[in-house]
Structure 1
Amino acid sequence: MSGVEVLAVVLAAIDISFRLIALVIVPRNRRPQTSMAWLLAIFFIPFVAFFAFLAFGSHRLSPTRRRKQETTNRILEVEQRHIPDSIRVAPAELELASGDTSRSGRKTQENNNTRLPLLGQTTRLIAPLVQLNERLGQMAMVRGNRVTLHSDYQATLDDMIADIDRAQRTVHVLFYIMSVDEVTEGFFASLARAKKRGVEVRVLFDQVATARIPGSRALRRRLRAAGVDYRAMLPFQPWRGVYQRPDLRNHRKLLVIDTEVAYTGSQNIIEPGYRRRGSKGLHWSDLMARVEGPLVHSLEALFVTDWYQETDTILETPELTAEPGEDSPAINSAEDTWAQVVPSGPAFEGENNLRLFNGLMYQARKRIVIVSPYLVPDDSMRYAITSAALSGVRVDVYVSAVGDQPLVFYAQHSYYGELLRAGVHIWLYPAPTVLHSKFIVVDGEVAVMGTSNLDMRSFTLNLELSVLLIGQDIITRLESLAENYREASTELTTDKWNQRGQLTRFVEGLARLTATVQ
């Protein structure tokens, strides 16, 4: 046998070995659709795909980070036990909700000095979800919160700056992307002023996401010059022996000031065009929530866990001991919002955000409003959305008519046909705006907003922050915002959708296949 023949036999044996090994390893603890996508890739391009699987096939964080998460979970569990009963909302309160009809015709409930509108059956049905969230994410639902929505990009930054300038003890900053530019200059100046006053200023930003932005080194120089303690989250540094899948990212956005005021939502600290050259004038439209009340303690706890992951230091924060009274920001008013932080990501065993979203959709009885810049659902969410629509629930989905990430954009489009056939109403927000807000409203009674997209990346690969919300005032404002989106949007019809060409359909199918390789 010649050397060429021997080499051919060896290569064939390796090829077969790759395929056999893949059949054993790939399907373990993965969605069937994800396993199938990886197996197809390995069977068609075995050598390249096999090594790609070794680099990107696991969605788990490193063992060290998982052990840290277990530590913080135990700490959070102990802290949650000490939340006063008058602040904690027990799931039983939702299950047993009943009350008299007020003059306005809406039911109300007297409980622990809190008046909360009983908004209907859906509110009661989510009690098991509240309990599930607490079990998975260690965060309780709390009352006595005032939640204010901010949808103007610059005004949101201005309000953040004003609150930072009032800080006396701590300013904790955590954002997926941060950039020093003409729009955010005032934000970083306020951090420097706070530090100069003696305030403890700590900053976290995602290493890879921020490094992709022009001028990321200027950010580090600016923070160092101000004396701010900062860390890049989930650093990818294999040359230092630090390795995990490089696209596991911390996608959270969070600002906490003196454990009294917090902001969270979809907006990053960067100018609204994301400093992109050749982006055809795209700009981002975002939604942030300003929070006062006990929920701030839960958000602060989440910052503490992420700071511990990067520094090995567990920060001490004020205990939530004072019971809400007449001077609480929202107590005894229509503004009172019951809220629960739901952290999620590869640090957790379960896909906390996906379980929450699906649970809400299956409990819907009348209407679901979905606003998301990236809608690439896994099979479970696809069934949840279409099942709701097919059962008579009106489902309105708001997405952008233009995309900033072509592969994701085409993958998202590949689902439109099935959604339309099920009766889902798809609204396209006009270019050049990227509608980047992220929230869901169910039956005009319950909502969830935060940083999570409705795509497989946010379910499995990204650390995300979602907030479950119950309250008349906040729900009304979210519905009003969705109505504003509708007035500016164009509805996608089945006839219009069917007019796209064969090449477009092929690209959509290919993009959809790659999207499942998570």
Structure 2
Amino acid sequence: MIRAFILSGEIFGLLMVPIVLIRKRHPVSAWAWSLTVVFIPWLGVLLFLIFGAQRIRRRLRKKIEHRSRFLRLWVSAVPRRKDASPSSGWAGMDAFTLRVGGAPASEGNDLALYSGGIEAFAAKREAILAAKHHVHAEYFILKDDATGRAFAELLCEKARAGVKVRLLVDAVGARRAGGLLQRVRQAGGEAAEFLPYRLWRGSLISGLRNHRKILVCDGSVGFIGGLNIGDEYVNESPRFRSWRDTHARVRGPVVLALQRVFAEDWDFATNEMLAGERCFPRPRTDGHERLQLSWSGPDQDANATRETFFAAMISARQRLWIATPYLVPDGALLAALHSAAMRGVDVRILTQSWPPDHQIAWWAGRYFWEELLASGVRIYEYTEGMMHAKVMLADGAWASVGTANFDVRSIRLNFEVNLHIHTPGTVAELVAQFRRDLRASREVRFGVFRRRPLRHRLAENVCRLFSPLL
């Protein structure tokens, strides 16, 4: 009986292989899922139906169609603003980012950087309290804990005062925040989920997730970075001693681009188009920052995050420093790291140490360490808490701060948004913070790491098999 059950599962798995090949465009992912459905009878098929298939193609097609429709309507509904004149910038990155789907670079912006959640949340609270017309919040994670409830109550307070509150959360990342969303609605605000999953709609868990973290108040001040809403992000979780992140507050023309990203996501989730002078006011231009916004997702032909990361890596000549909690690059990004290090570029990667927040991703990332260390890349493990910053620094002239990790999920499945900084003085500020983080880190030595125990190697090899499935 058991033998017949296993045999029937293997036959069914073989019949599933053509479906896997049709659904999975990436060769490695197609191979991984094909082996899974064949050699793990029944369970492999179930895993594919939940995590690999689950009608992503239909939902992605809907998002692609929506993006084209939204762009046409948005261009006609929102007045055009004068952006910065085209400039080659560092390695032509501003022009390149525009070509792969980002906003034009803009002058006259103001920027404040935060290295932790406490000061960032204080600035967000101040901006929300000062809002007169609207508060637009979009987060991957909204937790129903003390911090999440305080944030929701702040939104409720503004909604009761007549301010238009719109809250958008990812349906998976904020799956336990239904009570908070309902409180916002009851107070007069609006709340929605991005790509909600419903069993009766044939989608239990979708791989397409909105990983963006955006706050825009009155179209004049915006926030972007790695911080979600929850206790751990303000050092109130017993699991982590402290939470190290990078977040930014922006004022000026770049806020309109951030508002545009929110508007597209909100329209997709609610069918409400946001336009007009109240949502897109004439910005102040008395700052000194040259900034550019780049957003990406699986609805793009060429993923803007991956393309800009790759372009910066192959363009760097002196320095390439990367902070990321998850280091699971695809083949091209891995080759770019090798190439930069072997060209003599100072390549350093700062990541989290043990215990990580996601063990599979952490072990999968360690699989690449030996190869990277051998080519001259220097890797550091942050030891004073959770390293969650997503920062790339190149040649002291260009920087990226945002929501995208240096992993396959961010460059293939997630909807992300990043802020590119073209102001050398601000890049120098980020370099100084990176140096402080290095002093709070432990460098991984090649000779020591290559002698790691066999059980560690096994864990790395097993977990890296899951990277194409993410």
Do both proteins adopt the same fold according to a TM-score greater than 0.5, normalized to the shorter chain? Answer: yes
Once the 2 structures are TM-superposed, how far is the Cα of residue 169 of structure 1 from its aligned partner? Answer: 0.7
Counterpart residue number, 2:188: 227
Mapped contact 1:273–1:282 kept (Cα < 8 A): no
**420, 423, 426: which one aligns with 1:471:** 423
In structure 1, the partner of 2:245 is 286
Partner of 2:374: 421
Higher mean C-alpha deviation, range 159-168 or range 19-28: 19-28
Counterparts of 1:242 and 1:44, CA distance in 2: 25
Following superposition, the deviation at residue 146 of structure 1 comes to 1.1
Deviations 1:300-348 (A, max 9, x none): 01111111111111112428685x8xx7331xxxxx2222221111232
Q: Which has the larger radius of gyration?
A: 1
2:88 alignment partner, one of 72, 90, 94: 94
Question: Does 2:5 match 1:41?
Answer: no
Aligned equivalent of 2:361: 408
Question: Does the Cα contact within 8 Å between 1:65 and 1:347 map onto a contact in 2?
Answer: yes
**In percent, how many aligned pairs have the same letter?**
28
Matched position secondary structure for 1:314: coil
Provide Cα deviations, 1:365-391, integer angstroms capped at 9, x if missing partner: 111010001111111111111111111
* Map of 2:403 onto structure 1: 451
Aligned residue in 1 for 2:322: 370
Does the 8 A contact of 2:324 with 2:388 survive in 1? yes
Say whether 1:395 aligns with 2:347: yes
Between the aligned partners of 2:290 and 2:232, the Cα distance in structure 1 is: 31
CA RMSD of superposed structures (Å): 2.8
In the alignment, the residues of structure 1 paired with residue 235 and residue 213 of structure 2 have an alpha-carbon distance, to the nearest angstrom, of: 19
* SS across alignment from 1:308: helix
Q: Deviations over 1:149-183 (max 9, x none)?
A: 01231121111111111111111011111135434
Q: For residue 148 of structure 1, what is the amino acid of its counterpart?
A: A
Answering whether residue 243 of structure 2 is matched by residue 271 of structure 1, we say no
Corresponding letter in the other structure for 1:410:
W
Aligned residue among 295, 305, 329 for 1:343: 295
Give the C-alpha shift of residue 27 in structure 1.
7.0
SS where residue 145 of structure 1 aligns? Answer: strand
- Asked whether the equivalents of residues 192 and 269 of structure 2 are also in contact (C-alpha less than 8 Å), the reply is yes
> In structure 2, which of residues 259, 264, 271 is the aligned counterpart of residue 312 of structure 1?
271
Aligned partner of 1:329 in structure 2 is 286
Structure 1 Cα separation of the partners of residues 235 and 195 of structure 2: 23
User: In structure 1, what is the Cα distance between the partners aligned to 2:25 and 2:327?
Assistant: 20
Which secondary structure state, in structure 1, belongs to the residue aligned with residue 396 of structure 2? coil
Match for residue 162 of structure 1?
Answer: 126
1:82 to 71, 77, 80: 80
Pair 1:78–1:512, CA change in 2 (3 A): farther
Asked if 1:179 is matched to 2:143, the reply is: yes
Please tell me whether residue 238 in structure 1 is matched to residue 191 in structure 2. no
Deviation larger for 462-471 or 291-300: 462-471
Q: More deviation in 349-358 or 381-390?
A: 349-358
Post-superposition shift, 1:408? 0.9
- Number of aligned residue pairs: 464
Unaligned runs of 5+ in 1: 96-122, 331-335
- The TM-score normalised by the length of structure 2 is 0.90
Alpha-carbon distance in 1 for matches of 2:91, 2:306: 20
Mapped to 2, the partners of 1:468 and 1:290 lie a distance apart of 13
Is the 1:157–1:184 Cα contact (8 Å) retained in structure 2? no
* Secondary structure, aligned partner of 1:151: strand
Judge conservation of contact 1:19–1:46 (CA < 8 Å) in 2: no
Match of 1:132 in 2: 99
1:45 & 1:350 partners in 2: Cα distance? 34
Partner Cα distance (1:448, 1:77) in 2:
26
Question: Partners in 1 of 2:254 and 2:346 — Cα distance?
Answer: 31
Give the direction of change, closer, same or farther, for the CA distance of 1:380–1:81 in structure 2 (3 Å limit): farther
Q: Is the 8 A contact 1:126 1:363 kept in 2?
A: no
Distance in 1, matches of 2:229 and 2:255, equals 20
What is the TM-score with the length of structure 1 in the denominator? 0.82
Moved more, 468-477 or 410-419: 468-477
For residue 274 of structure 1, report the CA deviation from its aligned partner. 8.7
8 Å CA contact 1:340, 1:468 repeated in 2:
yes
Looking at structure 1, the residues matched to 32 and 93 of structure 2 have their Cα atoms a distance apart, in angstroms, of 34
Q: Which SS does the other structure have where 1:286 is aligned?
A: strand
1:244 deviation in Å? Answer: 7.3
| CA–CA distance in structure 1, aligned partners of residues 450 and 109 of structure 2 | 46
The answer (yes or no) to whether the contact 1:89–1:338 under 8 Å persists in 2 is no
- Show CA shifts across 1:99-133 (max 9, x none): xxxxxxxxxxxxxxxxxxxxxxxx04425522323
Counterpart of 1:296 in 2: which secondary structure? helix
Query: Could you tell me whether the CA contact under 8 Å between 2:254 and 2:291 is conserved in 1?
Result: yes
Query: Quick one: which amino acid aligns to residue 477 of structure 1?
Result: E
State the AA in 2 paired with 1:223.
Answer: V
Distance 2:235 2:126 in 1: 25
1:373–1:453 CA contact under 8 A, matched in 2: yes
Aligned-residue offset at 1:285: 1.8
Q: Quick one: distance in 2 between partners of 1:461 and 1:274?
A: 28
CA, structure 1 residues 76+421, in 2 after alignment: closer, same or farther (shift >3 Å)?
farther
Correspondent of 1:141 among 105, 109, 112 = 105
Matched, 1:461 2:413: yes
Partner of 2:63: 65
Alpha carbons 1:262, 1:291 under 8 Å: kept: yes
Residue of structure 2 aligned with 1:30, choices 16, 25, 48: 25
Partner secondary structure for residue 272 of structure 1: helix
Query: Cα distance, 1:483 vs. partner?
Result: 0.9
